Amino acid sequence: MNYRIEHDSMGEMKVPADALWGAQTERSHENFKIGIGLETMPREIIHAFGILKKAAARANHQLKPEKMTLEKLAAIEQACDEVISGTLMKHFPLVVWQTGSGTQSNMNANEVIANRANQIACKDEEADLEKIPRLCHPNDDINMSQSSNDTYPTAMHIAAVLEMEDTLLPAVQRLVDTFLHLEAENKDAVKSGRTHLQDAVPISFSQEISGWRASLEKDMELIRLSGGPLKALALGGTAVGTGLNAPEGFDVLVAEEVSTLTGKPFVTASNKFHALTSKDELVFAHGALKALAADMMKIANDIRWLASGPRDGLGEITIPANEPGSSIMPGKVNPTQCEQVTMVAVQVMGNDAAIGFAASQGNFELNVFMPVMAYNFLQSVRLLAQSITSFTDNCAVGIKADRKKMHHNLYNSLMLVTALNPYIGYENAAKTAHLAFEENISLKEACVKLGFLNADRFDEVFHPENMI
């Protein structure tokens, strides 16, 4: 491999000749060989860094045009666009397990954007970085008016908002729409309700589905609500929240530029000391993700219970048979999409614990657990979005009610005796249910045998389909 020599404040470093990163990135790359190839900084964070560095360059051009010249701005903007598009991802090799402020990832962005901007400025897309003029400096130009301490939390907030609103919410909405379609299909399908895993009074299948759908709609509402506080950005607080080395008005202007680039209403944080050290907004937002995970766990479990069997379980619905379910039992098919949802839910709940612990570790003017928070938060969003999409496409759209089995289970339920309460009273209804169970006879036979109603009167008042 060919190398070039880069330097930083600690001296010279050998860097791969074709890498856009510089000395500080290389030091981190060599010093933190933890989770290599598996736990690199999330691409959503890199995307957000491209946005914030472009916004910062624009704001600096307006406030410091003598330093952020039009020539520099044009080159930096193009380089940032390439970071945003993902075409430069191979130049961001650093892992999550680094400094807790994300300093090395901020410098990784600074170095890549500076070197790429220099190539762009010299009109040579693949120019030798050792030989071209250095128009842009990583610290002096790309990091102008910033610190790692305010850029990394800003990148976290930008990434969280974009992924929740543009990736996760549309995935949830598709499942909501699927359930709405199933509700319309099953308005006249009456089945046994269940509480405590025991038979309960009747419910229509559409009513049961509506509970799933309404839970998801509430989760979407909570996610949107939690996105509000995340739209406050730390950028402009610099090292400790005082805004040292940032020009007056930079914080407001850069938030406006981020809003323009993303189409989201970001604002500058009203208190930068809070923005740098407290991660309560991220904890709050992940709580909404955990609520969604909890509801998805419940929905997936309901569906696999209802589809259990096919002959010896509840068997009230069928779901798509996607793959063989056993290496030893021919013909067995398992509710695999339900199972992937429940595993994702468990992972999200674990991520929530990690985020809560990390957020509690702010010391004085900075929280130094930010990369692990970003990693876990974005993993939760990504897993939920992909899991829900897979569940919708490979399971929910194919749910079919087995009306014959629903009818059998409904009329075999002893809890239909509840319909007799107004006519024979609670205690007599309980006696009827117990006798039917003990002698394995119908409710009608038990009620007539006990003398509470005659057969004709029983038929007159006993209509389970009216109990929903």
Give the tens place of pLDDT for each residue, 416-465: 999 999 999 999 999 999 999 999 999 999 999 999 999 999 999 999 98
Q: Is residue 400 part of a domain?
A: yes
Total tally of structural domains belonging to the chain: 3
| d(C-alpha 20, C-alpha 30), whole Å | 16
User: Has residue 37 got a pLDDT over 90?
Assistant: no
Task: Give yes or no: residues 163 and 301 share one domain.
Answer: yes
| d(C-alpha 256, C-alpha 340), whole Å | 40
147 belongs to the catalytic site: no
User: Has residue 347 got a pLDDT over 80?
Assistant: yes
User: What DSSP character marks residue 17?
Assistant: T
pLDDT at 125: 76
Last residue of a domain, one of 109, 144, 179: 144
Chain segment 280-312, per-residue pLDDT in tens: 999 999 999 999 999 999 999 999 999 999 999
CATH number of domain containing 444: 1.10.40.30
Chain segment 100-109, per-residue pLDDT in tens: 999 999 999 9
Compute the C-alpha angle 32/35/37, nearest 5°. Answer: 105
SS3 category, 273: helix
Q: Is residue 310 part of a domain?
A: yes
Task: Give yes or no: residues 194 and 339 share one domain.
Answer: yes
β-bridge pairing 198-204 and 317-318:
unpaired
pLDDT at 127: 78
Q: Is residue 259 part of a domain?
A: no
Q: What is the largest CA-CA distance in the chain?
A: 103
User: Has residue 126 got a pLDDT over 80?
Assistant: no
Helix-helix angle 205-230:148-163, to 10 degrees: 160
pLDDT at 221: 98
Q: Is residue 338 part of a domain?
A: yes
171: Cα separation from own chain's centroid: 10
Closest CA to 87 of 59, 120, 56: 120
Judge contact between 222 and 288, C-beta under 8 A.
Answer: yes
Q: How many CB atoms lie within 10 A of CB 405?
A: 20
β-bridge pairing 3-8 and 11-16:
antiparallel
Which tokens hold the place of 31? 């010093």
pLDDT at 1: 81
Task: Give yes or no: residues 134 and 171 share one domain.
Answer: no
Task: Give yes or no: residues 38 and 160 share one domain.
Answer: no
Q: Is residue 263 part of a domain?
A: no
Judge contact between 252 and 246, C-beta under 8 A.
Answer: no
pLDDT at 143: 98
Task: Give yes or no: residues 228 and 281 share one domain.
Answer: yes
Q: Give how far Cα 465 sits from Cα of 33, 182, 249, 426, 461, Å.
A: 65, 19, 67, 20, 12
pLDDT at 318: 97
Closest CA to 286 of 240, 349, 336: 349
Query: If 0-12 CB within 10 Å is exposed, 13-18 middle and 19+ buried, where does residue 445 land?
Result: middle
Q: Indicate which residue of 7, 85, 326, 434 is catalytic.
A: 326
Q: How many CB atoms lie within 10 A of CB 136?
A: 26
Q: Is residue 308 part of a domain?
A: yes
Task: Give yes or no: residues 158 and 206 share one domain.
Answer: yes
Chain segment 371-397, per-residue pLDDT in tens: 999 999 999 999 999 999 999 999 999
Q: What percent of the chain has pLDDT over 90?
A: 96
Helix (H) or strand (E) holding 363: strand 362-363
pLDDT at 112: 98
| Contacts for 343 with CB less than 8 Å, ≥ 6 apart | none
Task: Give yes or no: residues 155 and 82 share one domain.
Answer: no
Task: Give yes or no: residues 298 and 400 share one domain.
Answer: yes
| d(C-alpha 138, C-alpha 146), whole Å | 11
pLDDT at 130: 86
Q: Indicate which residue of 9, 196, 270, 327 is catalytic.
A: 196
68: Cα separation from own chain's centroid: 37
Compute the C-alpha angle 101/244/240, nearest 5°. Answer: 35
Helix-helix angle 43-63:103-121, to 10 degrees: 60
Last residue of a domain, one of 144, 167, 190: 144
User: Has residue 58 got a pLDDT over 90?
Assistant: yes
Task: Give yes or no: residues 296 and 333 share one domain.
Answer: yes
pLDDT at 203: 97
Judge contact between 159 and 374, C-beta under 8 A.
Answer: yes
Task: Give yes or no: residues 81 and 162 share one domain.
Answer: no
Task: Give yes or no: residues 338 and 354 share one domain.
Answer: yes
Average pLDDT over residues 220-229: 98
Q: Specify the range with the lowest mean pLDDT, choosing from 231-235, 322-326, 424-428.
A: 322-326
181 belongs to the catalytic site: no
Q: Is residue 425 part of a domain?
A: yes
CATH number of domain containing 93: 1.10.275.10
| d(C-alpha 148, C-alpha 370), whole Å | 11
Task: Give yes or no: residues 185 and 305 share one domain.
Answer: yes
Q: How many CB atoms lie within 10 A of CB 201?
A: 18
Last residue of a domain, one of 121, 144, 167: 144
CATH number of domain containing 354: 1.20.200.10
User: What DSSP character marks residue 15?
Assistant: E
Which tokens hold the place of 368? 């130094």
User: Has residue 56 got a pLDDT over 90?
Assistant: yes
Compute the C-alpha angle 44/50/51, nearest 5°. Answer: 90
Total-model pTM: 0.96
pLDDT-based confidence at residue 320 (cuts at 50, 70, 90)? very high
Give the residue numbers spanning the domain of 450.
413-467
Task: Please give the backbone phi and psi of residue 319, each rounded to the nearest 5 degrees, phi first.
Answer: -125, 160
Q: Is residue 227 part of a domain?
A: yes
Q: How many CB atoms lie within 10 A of CB 278?
A: 15
Chain segment 352-369, per-residue pLDDT in tens: 999 999 999 999 999 999
